[in-house]
Amino acid sequence: MSIRIGIVGYGNLGRGVECAIAQNPDTELIAVFTRRSPETVKILSQNATVYHIDDIQNMIGKVDVMILCGGSATDLPHQTPAIAKFFSVVDSFDTHAKIPEHFSAVDAAAREGGNLAVISCGWDPGMFSINRLYAESILPDGKSYTFWGKGVSQGHSDAIRRIAGVVNAKQYTIPVQSALDAVRSGSNPDLTTREKHLRECFVVAEEGADLARIEREIVTMPNYFADYDTIVHFITAEEMARDHSGIPHGGFVIHAGKTGKDGEHTNIMEYNLKLDSNPEFTASVLVACARAAYRMKEEGTIGCKTILDIPPSYLSPASGEELRKRLL
Amino acid sequence: MSIRIGIVGYGNLGRGVECAIAQNPDTELIAVFTRRSPETVKILSQNATVYHIDDIQNMIGKVDVMILCGGSATDLPHQTPAIAKFFSVVDSFDTHAKIPEHFSAVDAAAREGGNLAVISCGWDPGMFSINRLYAESILPDGKSYTFWGKGVSQGHSDAIRRIAGVVNAKQYTIPVQSALDAVRSGSNPDLTTREKHLRECFVVAEEGADLARIEREIVTMPNYFADYDTIVHFITAEEMARDHSGIPHGGFVIHAGKTGKDGEHTNIMEYNLKLDSNPEFTASVLVACARAAYRMKEEGTIGCKTILDIPPSYLSPASGEELRKRLL
């Protein structure tokens, strides 16, 4: 029998989860839940039904795990605890500073409902967190660095779009190659924000807009751009559509640590991702975590977990015996 | 109270474990066990004692986890099950084809003794296995590649030393850059053994030895060299001592997988290691796994596990709360 999955929220991430479920024969999409009128939402899957999110409780006993695909800013802080009372859930909550608070709320709700929740699945938080953990646990006399990119930052793109005279914008976060090289050398350098990443912006402006003012407003914007070297390109709407319609991302976790009697040996551990589709990769992590959530719940585990608590083998459909034989 | 550790076997790996314990304040070295006369074995630690391995049972109740540092060919197949009857144990058994058999023997022994065993900890098997597992679980429509090196292969170095006229030898396994590039491009190429790695050998020959014959015997040696492009350098004993005394190693696990409605997006996951000291890094993984073994045993888990079964958080001395706050 396959793991019966519901998707809550059908944007880029929800569509990515739908595609990932199709790649995993032990999972099955039962339903998509939306705040829109269900009849206006067209999905790819033939055998799943679209329901209004208010009707989610009708599916108790018919869905094993709900994968929550809303945003971290306003959706997940209330949706994940609310739904964890009735279903096992998986989300990709990624507001790093608020994870402890979110964990507490989801843990209480999941325990109340006797369900299992896995929060903050994705790549950062997610696979990058796991790699930071393995690295510092194995080489405690060391230092971890995280670089993001090259990839699209939705938050920074949105910030540019709010400037007067801007029609559309896409911002790429780019790791600085010399900083990557310095970290990979094992020298554990101290790096400022500006030394680690640069920001490249592609902007479509209104006709006749003051481009110099727009550029100045971008590069001096506090929090978003002021602490970085920022490059601004003005392009046409056609160029934007042709060259910048994807949502690629990626990044690097690099840890250099010393071993030996006097720390005389340096060892470098590196994990990196190069993703054509940020939401589809995150969706793929969510589906693997849904499998783990289902198993842990079946074993009687309840409450909130993160990917740091999941034995790696629980993410795979293969048996322990097969994994030992084939992958170890 | 710290985790009380015993080391069984005091070669390169055992010495590495001793150094790693010194880097982990929640662990403590209690004793080293050896087949040699204990008084002939000098260790670095002031507060640990060297015993003969025949006296290991005297330490029941005084050591929490035994870290077995013998070889996979002849030591571990009998040592790990024998000692798992009396202690929780961790080993780095790395004969890939025999892992299922070793697992069964150790599982039975550990269950008999009510102990917890973790086998095959290190980097391959070990961290590379974990990365192959995460990769194929997240991106099932994909393919994983493992490359080893640049690093010293002990087995290949030993094989050269057995040739008549050879005084000393060191063999480096080197990934072929064009193969790495092809895999990183996401094209999932089919690669032959020869296309993936080359072998570089540094050989000290006896005075007057027939160098052409030695080179021919190396490059045509079945299993070890015949399927590879092999480079042979003859050097002096002084050059060997000066330039080739280290035991570096490393390698790459790269997985490219498709996502999207029609597999239209390619995503690359890469894990790589660059180790100045192969045995010290393996030792560092063993100590982190000893921590996990101790915890699992404390929770009442018994039998044999591998690193694929260990929740990542169990490898760290930090609390779940701290890990969520700091690393997630």
- Chain centroid to CA B229: 25
Sorting pLDDT into bands at 50, 70 and 90, what band is B45?
Answer: very high
Question: Under a CB-based contact definition with an 8 Å cutoff, are residues A173 and A153 in contact?
Answer: yes
Mean pLDDT of A92-110: 97
**Cβ distance of B311 and A315 shorter than 8 Å:** no
Mean pLDDT of A109-129: 98
**Cβ distance of A134 and B132 shorter than 8 Å:** no
**Cβ distance of A16 and B328 shorter than 8 Å:** no
Q: Give the tens place of pLDDT for each residue, B18-29.
A: 999 999 999 999
Please tell me the pTM assigned to this model: 0.96
In chain A, % of residues over pLDDT 90: 99
Question: Under a CB-based contact definition with an 8 Å cutoff, are residues B76 and B103 in contact?
Answer: no
**Cβ distance of B270 and A273 shorter than 8 Å:** yes
E-only strand ranges, A20-154? 27-34, 49-52, 65-68, 88-90, 116-119, 142-148, 151-152
ipTM of predicted complex: 0.96
Give the per-residue pLDDT at B1: 77
Contacts of A271 in chain B (CB under 8 A): 131, 269-271
**Cβ distance of B324 and A311 shorter than 8 Å:** no
Q: Give the tens place of pLDDT for each residue, A45-64.
A: 999 999 999 999 999 999 99
pLDDT averaged over chain B? Answer: 97
> What distances in angstroms separate CA B207 from CA B54, B210, B211, B214, one per listed residue?
44, 9, 10, 13
Contacts of B295 in chain A (CB under 8 A): none
Contact of A135 with chain B, judged by CB distance below 8 Å, is answered with: no
**Cβ distance of B284 and A120 shorter than 8 Å:** no
Nearest to B130 among A268, A274, A312 (CB): A312
Give the per-residue pLDDT at A138: 98
Give the per-residue pLDDT at A1: 77
Contact of A290 with chain B, judged by CB distance below 8 Å, is answered with: no
Nearest to A272 among B270, B325, B328 (CB): B270
Sorting pLDDT into bands at 50, 70 and 90, what band is B187?
Answer: very high
- Chain A / chain B CB contacts < 8 angstroms: 210
Give the per-residue pLDDT at B113: 98
- For residue B96, give how far its alpha carbon lies from the nearest alpha carbon of chain A (Å): 7
Amino acid making up residue A27:
T
Question: Under a CB-based contact definition with an 8 Å cutoff, are residues A289 and A121 in contact?
Answer: yes
Q: Smallest Cα–Cα separation from A122: which of A311, A316, A302, A285?
A: A285
Q: Give the tens place of pLDDT for each residue, A243-292.
A: 999 999 999 999 999 999 999 999 999 999 999 999 999 999 999 999 99
Residues 158-197 of B with CB under 8 A from A: 184
Mean pLDDT of A193-211: 97
> How many degrees, rounded to 5, is the angle at CA B140 between CA B139 and CA B141?
95
pLDDT averaged over chain A? Answer: 97
Nearest to B103 among A120, A134, A324 (CB): A324
> What distances in angstroms separate CA A181 from CA A178, A187, A189, A248, A252, one per listed residue?
5, 10, 10, 22, 12
Contacts of B323 in chain A (CB under 8 A): 133, 308
**Cβ distance of A313 and B308 shorter than 8 Å:** yes
Residues 197-256 of A with CB under 8 A from B: none
**Cβ distance of A268 and B274 shorter than 8 Å:** yes
Give the per-residue pLDDT at B251: 98
Residues 83-112 of B with CB under 8 A from A: 96, 99-100, 103
Ramachandran region, residue B186 (left: φ > 0; alpha: ψ -120 to 50; beta: rest): left
Q: Give the tens place of pLDDT for each residue, B280-324.
A: 999 999 999 999 999 999 999 999 999 999 999 999 999 999 999
Q: Give the tens place of pLDDT for each residue, B141-163.
A: 999 999 999 999 989 999 999 99
Nearest to B277 among A103, A267, A288 (CB): A267
Q: How many CB atoms lie within 10 A of CB B2?
A: 15
**Cβ distance of A308 and B324 shorter than 8 Å:** yes
Give the per-residue pLDDT at A220: 97
Q: Give the tens place of pLDDT for each residue, B224-240.
A: 999 999 999 999 999 99
Residue among A138, A144, A319 with most chain B CBs within 10 A, to mutate: A138
Q: Smallest Cα–Cα separation from B304: which of A293, A328, A289, A306?
A: A328
Q: Which residues, other chains included, contact A253 with Cβ-Cβ below 8 Å and sequence gap of 6+?
A: A128, A131, A132, A135, A144, A145, A146, A270, A271, A272
- For residue B131, give how far its alpha carbon lies from the nearest alpha carbon of chain A (Å): 9
